[in-house]
Structure 1
Amino acid sequence: MNYPKLFSEGRIGPLVLKNRGIMMPMATDLADKDGLVTKRQIRYYQERAKGGLAMIINEYTGVDDVDSIPSIHNLRIARDYHTTAMEELVDAVHMYDCKIVAQLHHGGATSNPQFTGRQNLAPSAVPIADGRPMPKEMTLEDIKRVQEKFIDAVGRCKKAGYDAVELHGAHGYLIAQFFSKYYNRRQDQYGGSATNRARFLTEIIAGIRKRYGNYPILVRMCGDEMTPVDGFLTLAEGIEIARILEKAGIDAINISNGSARNGDANCEPFSYKSGWKKHVAKAYKEALNIPVIATNTIKDPEFAEQLLEEGVCDFVGLGRSQLADPYFMLKAASGQSEEIRKCIGCLYCRERVLRDAMPIRCTVNARTAREVEFDQLEKDGNGQTVAVIGGGPAGMEAARVLALRGFEVHLFEKTQQLGGTLNIADKPAFKEKLTQLTRTMTAQLNQLGVIIKLNQLADAKTIRGIKPVAIVVACGAEPVVPKLPGVDGNNVYLAEEVVAGQAQPVGKIAVVGTGLTGLETAEMLCSAGHEVALVEMAPEIGPGIFPAIRNDELGRLLSHKPTVYAGHKLLAIDVRSITMENMSSGEEVQIEVDSVVLALGVRPRKQIYDELKQAFPDIEIRAVGDARRGGRIGDAIRDGFEAGYTLGKGSGSII
């Protein structure tokens, strides 16, 4: 057996788990406006159960729809009418021999008064963060009322068939607020000592035990809030509370990290190394006798096995790895680990839910939360030939899906390796996960028998020779170069050339454009010892980048102290200077530079698509990825997947 620890049985209270892989709760925003679980949500969870997990802890599930509505599509079990729908979810997961746990949640000060029409409740009148609404300090009557809502919700979970419940005491929500010396400044029996600050939860636990016996109870808490502000939980303080909870009779503890003010310790950007916080979970395992579940930025089964071997935890918490590849566990068990599509740490999932209030999606897996739409892949290719032009992420994904449908796929790539722009994007610091993505996608194509033709331009004559029934154009894009004086000078370079090591700008360098490519290029140049000026038309550098990624990148870049010209438009380039316009004042600004690096985005290569349309008027031709519109890796993979899934199924199709 591969990974013997990972695939050994485990126990949580009376539950026997078939292996040590547990899916962590992650908000999806897939519930309806009344908090009812939806068909889309059910299929999302069922797909992960089908992938071989021992247990799923579903996303935070509200026990209160009066004082706690953190988002419009927050899953809830606050009313009896939620129970029937929840049974459908439970049954769908149980179908694949997978346990399911409801994570019971109350937002407290993190709720949204715009949705409730009421002042938030909290242990004390302390806003969850600067600028957030002032909550109302809970009276003893409020406390008892909310505790009863937790206990009542457990009854609904039990009735729906859940195997256990998890009480959400992490990430700055209500239970965590009671744990916290910062948020809990009460002078009564619910504040002060660790015992008092845990009392809100221990009384809920006692109420559950009295009413429902030995029904399994888990608690999630932040083992270390890693927030350098007085009053936030330290590792030692967290362990003190965990011991109190163990004594109160919980069956397992689920260790996360971070706080409402430090989300990166919970859901990290790509620069964080796997296992960087494993000392926290190990400290809890050594201090407690109940099973410890823990997340640790687990991207592959080798590392999961290592954590279990080292005694860091009893069960591995799999979060974003389950978004990237729901078949993580099955592939690991069957010796196909090299085909596991791994999370790249881009936080697109978090960006969708937290910033955009949109349902969860994943950059590397176009099916995530869309399993209803892409339920069954038809085996309708019948060995017919399809040409895919371009071996970047869009082309590779289209080729993979078409091969799964039974087409004979010929993938043409003009360079000596697959990956396209991934082979540039993986060059800056901490981007090695993109190298792994290319390897995984290549392994999948090889396993499926895709005919890969490297170092080969796909002209009309070549394509005509294989007699394709359809063509996918994934030839990528070209960098945007503005028509400005001096832009064709010998001191002007493209960011892509610099990152790939094909160009070496000298002296003081102006980087024009501060999207992620521009910022990463600037960081590389600063690290090489160059003096750098950042030029950006928007009022702030890094426009449009998800704040957690932007702040992570700027934390490194700004330590080099580049000169920043936000709100400035490039007008002209000279041999030793550039001229800009201050967008606010209209004033012209000139600075001395030796080199200029352009990072202004890309535009599709339309010529190849147009030529093929003319050469093959009777064949369905689909442009995907950057060849269709400039975008991110996730846009390219989604385009490729959708093209592969739908090619030949449109109106008037001949396939």
Structure 2
Amino acid sequence: MSKDPLLQPYQLKHLTLKNRIMITSHEPAYPEDGMPKERYRAYHETRARAGVALTMTAGSAAVSRNSPPAFNNILAYKDEVVPWIRQLTDACHTHGCAVMIQLTHLGRRTGWNKGDWLPSVSSTMAQEPAHRFFPKLVEDWDIARIIEDYADAAERMKEGGMDGVELEAYGHLMDQFWSPATNQLDGPYGGGTLENRMRFSLEVIDAIRQRVGEDFILGIRFTADEAMQGGITAAEGLEIGRRLKETGQIDFLNVIRGHIDTDAALTDVIPVQGMRNAPHLDFAGRVRREIGLPTFHAAKIPDVATARHAIAEGLLDMVGMTRAHMADPLIVRKISERREEEIRPCVGATYCLDRIYQGGEALCIHNPATGRELTMPHELSPAAETKKVVVVGAGPAGMEAARVASERGHDVVVFEAAPDAGGQVRLTAQSERRREMISIIDWRMEQCIARNVKFSFNTYAETTDVTSENPDVVIVATGGLPHTDVLSEGNDLVVSAWDIIAGDVKPGRQVLVFDDAGDHAALQAAEMIAKTGAHVEIMTPDRSFSPEVMGMNLVPYMRALQDKDVRFTVTYRLKSAKRAGNRITAVIGTDYSGHTEERDFDQIVVNHATVPLDELYFDLKPRSKNLGAVNQEALIFGRPQSLEANPDGEFALFRIGDAVSARNTHAAIYDALRLVKDI
């Protein structure tokens, strides 16, 4: 047997877990009508098949109708959930993987204007800033009903074959009762004493245990330190842990440190890139040491070395690698086969979580098969016939195309105009806080080198360069160039956000950053400018700035900008620019009226995405078999391309990523995978 600490079995009550790696409860928002159907099952089964010991479903499966999901969560209050849960658990159990689910009542962390339009309830009437709604102060009859709802939901999960349930007590109703900051009740469930504040959760635990019996795992994911003024302190959190243990009904603790009622607080609980790894691991170890219950924990544990340390040093009994398994579901298999160097790294971009609020589903920034297991592969099969594939461009789209083609056994050549691979990702990684992004490129480069992909850097490929390789397939992934030609006049007076990020243009002293793309580039450029001590105004015609960045990724930018001379202006549009001596006059308007005004700056930076660098594609198009056309239905449903409009053509031709239109890193990589996987 392996001596690797991560691969040792763990006995949790009557349940034997085959190793120490787990996927903690999380909601990727894949349910359909509140049910975990085929897509949901495929997501968890893929990770079970690869060897993870325990997968926890449903970050926040709703136990009550007046706890409508904040996003697309599982509805555990419906009887119809049982057969869907059974299909999921049966699929995972086939691979020796235990399955649990997280049950919760959201309390004030939801709204009234969804689901059945019932008022949210809490132990406080105070608004939760993140969700902005005002709850009703919970009454005794609410409490009695919710306790019954918890027991009913747990019974459904047992009937569905789950090995256990985890109760959610961080930011939700249970710990809203616990926290002095959010318990305004009098009487047996309030009044200030910890005994009263814990009464509701202990009654829930007792009701569940009576319903499911002893041969069912019951744990709790709880905040052992809210890290906020007036909240649960570490000392009180440890006491809560002791009292939970004293019930004799709790089988494990899953440790959280922090509070989640604002974007900033949530980001400290679930750190993003640029923040340190495993910030709460030692605290979780303290909880394990002082309480003595089996202890789980996950918070930016992205790599095997950190996970191994957590187990080897006795800090945890089971280590959660949740976002890491979104990046690479095959982690355990690769550890077992001594292929750790092949693990696709989590880069901390947290596109997965932000994407839930932006687009309604969790997606990994650089593994487009995650959440698409029904149509996209995590493992590639060899091609029936070896082909010569030429890829032009070594940004994220081109590197993914080269990786996929080479893994399938094709002979691959890559042309790149720059001296290094990476494209816009390499520019993004110029920022110290976002340097982890370069792993998107480095990992693909390592995979390509291992499969003998030939790279020609410093080569601005032309038609003859491509055709001299006698390709069967040509993939144009040349990306785009910054688009600054957006003003009615004065376009020659502005620079792009990428000019600032790349260091090609020195920041000015009084700078307008006009952003109508709403992505990272504007904020990244503004941060670099502000760090020089300059005054920066970030302007957008939208009603909110940087809508593509989203909550958790916005937090580090705000922390970097708000203590500097930076102002944010919404609902105004830069119309034109004109020279005024050694300064530039910005003519500013609005989409809401005919109002205009003029203000002077010494630099104007425009972020208006990119325009495709597509000249080579159009030069090659007449010589291609498919005339560059894509069968969109085949692309969508993961089938091979079959268009051949030009019988005299020499090769199949496709373009991907920003060479088609300005999008993002995930879109570029997804383009490449779903196109090249069948070549």
Task: Give the TM-score normalised by the residue count of structure 2.
Answer: 0.88
* Secondary structure, aligned partner of 1:430: helix
> Match for 1:557 among 555, 558, 561?
561
* Secondary structure, aligned partner of 2:432: coil
Q: Which residue number in structure 2 is paired with residue 652 of structure 1?
A: none
Give the Cα separation in 1 of the matches to 2:568 and 2:575: 13
Give the Cα separation in 2 of the matches to 1:107 and 1:592: 48
* Secondary structure, aligned partner of 2:198: helix
Q: Which residue number in structure 1 is paired with residue 363 of structure 2?
A: 361
Give the Cα separation in 2 of the matches to 1:429 and 1:397: 24
Structure 2 CA distance for partners of 1:198 and 1:507, relative to 1, 3 Å: closer
Matches within 5 A, 1:352-501: 352-356=355-359, 358-375=360-377, 377=380, 379-482=382-485, 487-488=491-492, 493-501=495-503
What is the CA-CA distance between 1:556 and the residue it aligns to?
Answer: 0.8
Q: Which residue number in structure 1 is paired with residue 659 of structure 2?
A: 627
Q: Which residue number in structure 2 is paired with residue 218 of structure 1?
A: 219
What is the CA-CA distance between 1:507 and the residue it aligns to?
Answer: 4.8
2:85 is the counterpart of 1:93: no
What is the CA-CA distance between 1:505 and the residue it aligns to?
Answer: 4.3
2:615 is the counterpart of 1:602: no
> Match for 2:598 among 589, 593, 598?
589
What is the CA-CA distance between 1:535 and the residue it aligns to?
Answer: 4.5
Q: Which residue number in structure 2 is paired with residue 547 of structure 1?
A: 551
2:232 is the counterpart of 1:200: no
Identity, in percent, stands at 26
1:373 partner amino acid: T
Give the Cα separation in 2 of the matches to 1:400 and 1:26: 30
Give the Cα separation in 2 of the matches to 1:457 and 1:336: 36
2:497 and 2:606 in contact (8 A); partners too: yes
* Secondary structure, aligned partner of 1:6: helix
2:675 is the counterpart of 1:643: yes
> Match for 1:282 among 266, 281, 285?
285
**Which blocks of at least 5 consecutive residues in structure 1 are unaligned?**
648-655
* Secondary structure, aligned partner of 2:41: helix
Superposed CA deviations along residues 572-607 of structure 1, whole A, max 9, x for unmatched, are: 2436212222324633323141x4444332111121
Q: Which residue number in structure 1 is paired with residue 26 of structure 2?
A: 26
What is the CA-CA distance between 1:486 and the residue it aligns to?
Answer: 5.1
Aligned Cα root-mean-square deviation (Å) = 2.5
What is the CA-CA distance between 1:75 and the residue it aligns to?
Answer: 1.0
Q: Which residue number in structure 2 is paired with residue 292 of structure 1?
A: 295
Structure 2 CA distance for partners of 1:344 and 1:209, relative to 1, 3 Å: same
Give the Cα separation in 2 of the matches to 1:283 and 1:395: 46
1:25 and 1:58 in contact (8 A); partners too: yes
Structure 2 CA distance for partners of 1:164 and 1:442, relative to 1, 3 Å: same
Q: Which residue number in structure 1 is paired with residue 636 of structure 2?
A: none
2:528 partner amino acid: M
* Secondary structure, aligned partner of 2:232: coil
Matches within 5 A, 1:17-166: 17-33=17-33, 35-60=34-59, 62=61, 64-71=63-70, 73-113=72-112, 114-129=114-129, 132-166=132-166
| Mean Cα deviation higher: 364-373 or 155-164 | 155-164
1:50 partner amino acid: R
Q: Which residue number in structure 2 is paired with residue 241 of structure 1?
A: 240
Give the Cα separation in 2 of the matches to 1:87 and 1:449: 45
2:126 and 2:134 in contact (8 A); partners too: yes
1:390 and 1:473 in contact (8 A); partners too: yes
1:3 and 1:301 in contact (8 A); partners too: no
Give the Cα separation in 2 of the matches to 1:143 and 1:506: 59
Give the Cα separation in 2 of the matches to 1:3 and 1:623: 48
* Secondary structure, aligned partner of 1:109: coil
1:251 partner amino acid: D
Give the Cα separation in 2 of the matches to 1:146 and 1:45: 29
Give the Cα separation in 2 of the matches to 1:197 and 1:92: 40
Superposed CA deviations along residues 143-168 of structure 1, whole A, max 9, x for unmatched, are: 23222222222222222221121111
2:20 and 2:318 in contact (8 A); partners too: yes
Q: Which residue number in structure 1 is paired with residue 629 of structure 2?
A: none
Give the Cα separation in 2 of the matches to 1:505 and 1:118: 52
Structure 2 CA distance for partners of 1:530 and 1:21, relative to 1, 3 Å: same
Superposed CA deviations along residues 94-117 of structure 1, whole A, max 9, x for unmatched, are: 122211111112222334422122
Q: Number of paired residues?
A: 639
> Match for 1:614 among 622, 629, 650?
622
Task: Give the TM-score normalised by the residue count of structure 1.
Answer: 0.91
Q: Which residue number in structure 2 is paired with residue 185 of structure 1?
A: 184
Give the Cα separation in 2 of the matches to 1:81 and 1:596: 57
Structure 2 CA distance for partners of 1:505 and 1:197, relative to 1, 3 Å: closer
2:138 partner amino acid: M
Structure 2 CA distance for partners of 1:499 and 1:582, relative to 1, 3 Å: closer
* Secondary structure, aligned partner of 1:367: coil
Superposed CA deviations along residues 422-446 of structure 1, whole A, max 9, x for unmatched, are: 1111011311211222211111222
What is the CA-CA distance between 1:54 and the residue it aligns to?
Answer: 1.2
1:62 and 1:69 in contact (8 A); partners too: no
What is the CA-CA distance between 1:340 and the residue it aligns to?
Answer: 1.9
2:354 and 2:553 in contact (8 A); partners too: no
